[in-house]
Amino acid sequence: MYAVRIKTHFKRSLEKLTKRDEALKNRIESKVRDLSRAPYSESKTLTAGLKGKRSTYVGREYRIICSICEECRQMGYKRFNRCPDCEEIPDKSIILWDVDKREIVYE
């Protein structure tokens, strides 16, 4: 199982999206649990401006943007993700960067 680290932006977005939608909050939390168990099979790699990150679906409308620390180090994505505390984070960690509607999260 991978440890999950939540960035401030993800936390703010989650609070905003789920303020009045408990069902969505439960779906997102469930997807995060799935990611922590099998991050590679539960997500797909991104390119261009989001190179070094991955995306996973939460239903049809929402996406979570994350990165896997061991992949980031192996593939040389440190320069894209720029984690200030990279050296302190274990390889078996997932960083949650953002969650939002599909048309917004990829901007």
What residue ranges do the domains of the chain occupy? 3-105
CA distances 83 to 15, 37, 48, 67, 69, Å, are: 23, 22, 18, 10, 10
Residue 74, token pair as written in the block: 């192996």
Topology (CATH level 3) of domain 3-105: YaeB-like fold (3.30.2310)
CA neighbor of 28 nearest in space, from 63, 55, 67, 4: 63
CA 63 – CA 56 distance, rounded (Å): 6
pLDDT in tens, the chain (107 residues): 999 999 999 999 999 999 999 999 999 999 999 999 999 999 999 998 899 999 999 999 999 999 999 999 999 888 888 888 888 899 999 999 999 999 998 88
